[in-house]
Structures are given as structure tokens and as C-alpha cells.
Chains A and B, each alone.
Chain A
Amino acid sequence: MWRDNQVRDFHKDDPLDSLRSCSWQPGMAIATTTVVLLAVIAGTSLLNRVNAGSSHRVPSNVAWTPETIAQASSGKAFRGLLLAKRCEHCHGAEGFSPVGSTPNLAGLDKLAVWKQLEDFRDGKRSSPVMEPIAQSLSQRDLADVAAYYAELPVYADPQDNRVFPEPNAQASHSPIASRLVAFGEGSRGIPPCQACHGPVGYKPGAPSLATQNADYVLAQLDAFGDGSRANDINEPMRTIAALLSDSERQALATYYGAGLGLQPGGASDIAPKPLKLP
């Protein structure tokens, strides 16, 4: 009995009672604030999208965010193998192309192949052959093809009877190229090639040059140098190629074309010596 009275008295003096009868509750105030905030955010993002169409030059639509890297490395190599039947005519059945001006794709990093295909698709890198091919592939196909070429071996396996191009170490071991690959040239601000193109270090999108064709390497250095190829993010290769002289470009192309990029360059590498592949 006394308890009932107490409870009733408590309810009577409850300060929240007046609020409960009011239709404008604090929860609704917070909800309204949230709705207004969301509307403002949506509005500003829409404005931002409208303003995005300005006139600045974008070298490549690829940005190495974690999502992009995940998407580019998510390919299935077996599906890529089936798709890559179309590439065999120019890039070779084993990823080694019969023509020097066409790049070898065997063992190239997934991200590097994916980025070039993506740039061909967007017209950021121009090629009358590759642009229509890349445009005919879907987003998933690009990752699959890249995954396939990344898995191809670059040197002969004893249990395998395939034939690989033999590196020609003796003919092409020039001190200019060895020095540039191993140490770069600090006085001109040229970093060593092997810091990004391997085997010492890699950057996302920088291909390994270990088994690349000499003609292709030279053509790309020239294209970067005169700006006709301009799809490198934040222009590292355009800057470096512009700093290199013609003879240095030629020496580097011969160095990589001979398969010397498989091993890290070093002080002992300046002196000519026979190369032993793994």
C-alpha cells in the first residue's frame, strides 16, 4: 500500500513527464540535425562532382589505392590463360614475343600489366593495336590476363622442355648501363633503375625489366623522353628519360635486352663478367 503511494508520488514529480507529453523530443532534434548534415554532405559532394570537370591533364586514371591494388591483383590466372590465346600472335605463346618492338609479358608484375591495359582502355597510352583490344576486354578480363602473365616463368625449368631466349652477356655489358642500373647518377639526379624496376626494389606499376626486349625498352625511353608517352603517374619516367642522353638510352636498352636485369647490379657488376642465370 505504502509502496503504491510512493510510486505515484514519484511519477507526479518526474521532470521528464513534461518532455514526454511534448511532441518535440530530444531524439527528434538529433534526428533532424543528422538529416540536415547528411543533406549538406550530399549537396557538397554533388557540387564537387560538377566542379571535377576542369581542364587539368590526368596522366592515368589509375591511382594505387588499396582498393585498386586489390582489384588489380584479384585475377584468376586460368581464365587469363584462355583469354590470352588472343595475345599469342604478337606477344608469344610463352610470353616472349617474336618481334623486338613488342614487349615480352612473361613474369611481368600483375599491377604493371593491369595498369597498361587500363591506360590503353582510357586512351591514356596510345597504340593503334592495343587500344581497341583493351577496350574489348571487361574489367575482370584485365585482372585475369594480368594474373596469367605474372605466373609465366622467365627462365627455363629443368623439368620443362620449353625454349627460352638466351641472355647474351658478353656482347652488351657496357659500364655506362651497369653504372646507371646499379647507382644511377646523383650529380644529375638520376636514380638507379634497379631501385624501382627490380630486383633491388619495386614500386606499384613499375614493371620488371629483367627479360624485356631491347628495341621495346629503347622505344619507350624515347617516347617518355619526348613526351609522346605520358601515362606515368607523377611523371617519374618522363623526367628520367629526358635526363638520359641518346647513348645512355641505347646502352640501357641493350643491357636489359640481354637479360642482365635478372641479377642485382653492384660494384663488381661494372667489370664485364659472364652471367650465370639461376
Chain B
Amino acid sequence: MIVFTVLILCVIPATRYYQIDQPLMRWLRGPNRVDPAELHLSGEFVENNLGTEIDPDGSVTVRMIAQQYLFVPHCVLVPAGVPVHLRITSADAAHTFALIGTHYAVKALPGTITEAQLQFANPGEYTAACAEFCGAGHFEMRSELKVVPREQFQALDSVKRGGCVAR
């Protein structure tokens, strides 16, 4: 009887490990899982961690949240000729971050982080549109991505963290 009880106690977490919200279980599930309702409380998608970040190897990481009906940050600044690691997640429904005029379209799904590596050879301005019908405001869900020369980007980044929202 005792053996049976203990066995059951072991089997429950072993089969439901994905429902246990503990750091060890998060590590076992893999790194790319987030709670869409709690993005703003902790983790890498908190407010002051969004936008562009320069990595030690010279490439940049862009973190974005797609939500009904906005991409946050609304305007992103990245350097030209450098790998851009995009990390995007959704706070509610399924969205797609599609850069018009390029072949880049990255899905943003609630509960998971989508990673993509982009690279822009030349400076320019792109419009990103949502390419996944997400609700009543889907057709107005757009944001900007500005590619600037590398030297200019580093100069700008000391002032503002790669953001270019008019504020």
C-alpha cells in the first residue's frame, strides 16, 4: 500500500511536469516558455528590457511583444550589416511580425518565445504589419523598423535604448 501511494505521488509530477510552475520545471520544459498574462511582471519581456540590446559579440537582440493591436515597442532601431536576433512573444492572440518588402515574417504566439535571426545590408525604413488575423484592429496593427548605419546606431544607443517612438 505504501509502495503504491509513493509510486502514485511520483507519477503525478512525472506526467504533469509541464503544469508545475517552478524554476526547475521551467528548466526541464525548455527556455522558450512564458506566461502571456505575466509578461510585464518578470522575465525578459518587462518594460525596460524591450527594444534593442547590444550583445557582447557585436550583434543585437530585439525583444518585442505583439498584442491586440500593437507591437511594443512601436518603433525599433537596428544597425545595418549586423545579425539581429529577434525574440518575440504574444500577450494574447496569435500574431505575425511581417516586414513589408522583405521575406521576413515571424510568428508571435502566446506562451512561447519565437526566435529569428534577421540581417539588413543597407540602412532603410521598414513597416512591419501583423499578418495573422488577430481581431477587430488587425488591419491597423503596424510598427516601424528603422535600419541605421552601424556607427550612427552606437551613438544613438547611449541616449535611447534603440527606441524611436516619438515621445
Contacts and interface: CB of A to CB of B under 8 A. Distances in A.
Q: Do A and B bind each other?
A: yes
Interface of A: 25-27, 30-31, 33-34, 37, 40-41, 44-45, 47-48, 52, 56-61, 63-65, 68, 183-192, 194-196, 200-201, 203, 225-227, 233-236, 239-240, 242-243
User: Quick one: which of B24, B71, B72, B140 has the most chain A CB within 10 A?
Assistant: B140
Contacts of B48: 56-57
B137 A184 contact: yes
Given A58-B47, A233-B40, 11 more contacts: A26-B3, A41-B25, A45-B22, A48-B23, A58-B40, A184-B140, A191-B68, A192-B136, A201-B136, A234-B47, A240-B70
5 contacts: A57-B46, A58-B46, A195-B136, A226-B167, A239-B72
Contact of B41 (A40, A58, A195): A58
Given A189-B142, A203-B68, A34 B9 contact: yes
B47 A59 contact: yes
Interface string B2-15: 11001101100100
B22 A41 contact: yes
A31 B6 contact: yes
Given A52-B42, A227-B167, A195 B137 contact: yes
Interface of B: 2-3, 6-7, 9-10, 13, 20, 22-25, 35, 37-42, 46-49, 65, 67-74, 91-92, 135-137, 139-144, 165-167
Contacts of A26: 3
Contacts of A45: 22-23
B160 to A, nearest CB: 14
B136 A194 contact: yes
B46 A192 contact: no
A191 B167 contact: no
B167 A242 contact: yes
Contact of B140 (A44, A186, A226): A186
Contacts of B37: 63-65, 68
Chain B CB within 10 Å — which of A25, A26, A37, A189 has the most? Answer: A189
A183 B140 contact: yes
Contact of A191 (B7, B69, B72, B92): B69
A2 B39 CA distance: 74
B140 A189 contact: yes
